[in-house]
Amino acid sequence: MATLTRDEARARAGQLQVHTYTIDLDFTRGEDTFASTTTVRFATRPDTANTEAGTDTFIEIRPHTLHRATLDGHDLDPGTLVDGRLPLTGLTPGDHELTVLADMPYSHTGEGMHRFTDPADGLTYLYSMCCMTDSPLVYAAFDQPDLKATFDVTVTAPEDWTVLGNGIATPVAGAPGRWRCATTPPISTYLMAVAAGPYHSVRTEHAGLPFGIHVRRSLAPHLDRDADEILGITRAVFDRYAEILDEPYPFDSYDQAFVPEFNAGAMENPGLVTLRDEYIYRSAVTDTQRQLRGVVIAHEMAHMWFGDLVTLRWWDDIWLNESFAEFMGYQTLADAVPTYTPWTEFAVDRKAWGYDADQRPTTHPVAPEPDGVPDTASAWLNFDGISYAKGASALRQLVTWLGQDTFLAGVNDHFARHRFGNATLADFIDAMARASGRDVHAWADAWLRTSGPDLLTPDITENTGPDNTWTLTLEHRGNRPHRLHIGTYDGAQHRATHDIELTADQPATTLTAPGNRPDLIIVNDGDLTYAKVRLDPHSWTTAQNVLSQLPDPLTRTVVWNTARDMVRDAELPPHAYLEAARHHLPTEPETAIVESVIAFATTQITDRYLAGEEPARTEALTLLTELATDLAHHATARQDDAKHLIAQRTAIRSATGEAPLRTWLADDTTGRDPELRWQILYRLATLGATDETEIRAEAERDPSAKGEEGAARCLAALPDPEAKATAWHALFDPADTLSNYLFTATAQGFWQPEERQRDLLRPYVERYFPAAAGVATRRGHALAVATARHAFPHPFTDHATLTLAEAALREPLPQALHRKLTDESDDLRRALRVRERPWT
């Protein structure tokens, strides 16, 4: 497949104006391919056409078989299709019609037209994923975001299937299995969407529009149980957007299809949002998980305006889509559902994702310069914590500076000027400058065109003389302006909040206040800005005693993020972080904080920083087990189901012996929760306390897609040479039989940090790097990312692994794999610094 460059896209946009796509899809042709017929009506711009030779361009399609293509009634040679591009030569000025007939391949990697057969009941489901370059796996397209067109889509499917599309889909009278979707407004090619299968649906109407939620039939009872909650959030955020945005909802319906084996969290297809069906919970979940589902719903609805109504012109402005949807998703959910506190989860979890990405060598500005995104392969790499979390944090700073009313005035101006069109960073900044009368361009240069987090470090002096004052000198290392709060506390009691404004070029600022110095001084209290911060030594000592008692959860997240960052920077011993968690989490009321802190403690500290370090790792697991016990005790006393569930998960994850796991597995409550059962069995497998027979028996007990994944993860985790060889073959054999989700589950199970597995796994470390390159080359972007993220030998935190990784990076690799291996190598260096620091 040829990669589309920015220059090619700019040239084609100057040549063509695309009017309509008429697409006919036939899903009754078998299990391997479907029929796709595309008719595109477009015009060659007269001012760009070569009047003698005509205009030369191309359309993209990546078929199984290209049967026929006609341009203005004349046959084109199918043999001219090369690397997914069909040349169109000698185009005269004016209107043209191109028709392409092809058989297209079904996908099992979540790209193009994904086909999934549910192991629970044998029913088959399809859905499209056209972002960002995969429309040509479904239909012939001038596949770039600034060639918008209307879409007319018709689908032939088995008679008992439901069909969904961007516009309202209705059965064609007298043609069983035939469906026609209403014509869309002008949208970009990557937003075309279809879902088809025997979906179970819950439908309603709101604000005069049909709303629907859809899921495969085996999950129907779980959808029905949560339908009121999902639809209630959908209505609430829809109404909130209607309050703050002048432009009405721009499409004719709002469907949300929860689909299997989805690579992203969700996709903002106009009128048909697709979401991963793990959001339809079949087991117990915490309130944080439910809030996260609400954030995703609000995020994708924001895209109906931020991305779908007004779309980026080229992929250097991903932030115009994702940063806005991220910010608006959290803010709108907080406004629309007052019982939720989503900004706490954002602060303690999403921002950590952004900070981590921003400190790696692959960091990039939120809005890169145009030459920073020269082609679509480069653009794929920027769907990361910077484009989402850091970008949303930057927008939160912009709102803090301008005020919400002014910000929304600029947003509405932006939509009015570019509705159903395309826009750039400059267009948006112009709208904000018009609305505010301020130099937003300078703000954008400082916040959006730079990379890396600023560092804010306090230094405290105390005047014990007659003036009785204390002074904070806030050192600023970086190049962004900041508007933030300094919070002061006597013990856990809030004393005062001080507003601070730092200019971009200001290396430090001072604050002097009367009285004795506070026990605790917190920089960026309330988490208004995006920057690494530190506590002065006296404040850190206080924080270790009062952290869980601080009154505001956002204050506590700032302290926890500081501690996490200090561990990663080898400034705080990992054991000190674990001790703080042990002391404070049992009484921490916010489950988002509890879950995030425990996730860092397990995935990073015990399984990376302490992997192979005995007895330190066993001691850490014992401490986490004690923490789980205390969590359960407090949860029982407060009748806190979410905290009790976290306690169960933590106890399972940190267990070092078989006996408690067997007790939990036999418990009646656990017996009714398939996810907990798989977690227990996974830990037993990791410890070598189960076998293939028991795992397969559990898979028969749970004959679902999640059961398949659980079994694959457990089988790969067994500390047995044959089990490891089988898992390795499934992951890396060129037959490539695993779907994206089964690949991920197998990879997650394979590498284990347990001491008894190290000798068994060590020979595979060297084999990993060439094997990963093979998968990435054969299977494309999604599997390249999965191979680096989930199959990297994380437990082998040593210089030998780093040497192998650095050698691999010197070889030619697919861009997605190279980017992720660069990140993993940097994380490995960071982990080595932590391990090798001589803590006293």
Q: Any idea which residues carry the catalytic annotation?
A: 300
Task: Characterize the bridge pairing of strands 112-117 and 124-129.
Answer: antiparallel
Spatial separation of the C-alpha atoms in residues 772 and 820, rounded to whole Å: 11
Residue 729 burial (C-beta neighbours within 10 Å; 0-12, 13-18, 19+): exposed
Sheet holding 532-533, edge to edge: 508-514, 469-477, 455-463, 532-533
φ, ψ dihedrals at 463, nearest 5°: -100, 110
Query: Which tokens hold the place of 741?
Result: 């989700």
Q: Do residues 240 and 332 make contact, with C-beta atoms less than 8 angstroms apart?
A: yes
Per residue in 86-124, is it b (16+ CB within 10 Å) or e — as a string? bebeebebeebebbbbbbbbbbbbbbbbbbbebbbeebb
Rg over CA atoms, the chain: 28
Report the sign of the C-alpha dihedral through residues 78, 82, 88, 89, in that order: negative
Spatial separation of the C-alpha atoms in residues 542 and 514, rounded to whole Å: 20
Q: Which H or E element spans position 591? A: helix 591-599
Q: What is the DSSP string of 523-545?
A: ETTT--S--EE---HHHHHHHHH
Bridge partners for 256 per DSSP:
213, 273
Task: Give the CA-trace dihedral at 632, 634, 640, 644, to 10 degrees.
Answer: -10
SS3 73: coil
- Comparing CA positions, the residue from 643, 575, 529 lying closest to residue 839 is 575
* Terminal Cα-to-Cα distance of the chain (whole angstroms): 55
Query: Which tokens hold the place of 184?
Result: 């869309």
SS3 765: helix
Q: Do residues 656 and 686 make contact, with C-beta atoms less than 8 angstroms apart?
A: no
Report the sign of the C-alpha dihedral through residues 31, 108, 702, 731, in that order: positive
φ, ψ dihedrals at 530, nearest 5°: -115, 105
Please give the single-letter amino acid code of residue 172.
V
Query: Which tokens hold the place of 325?
Result: 């949807």
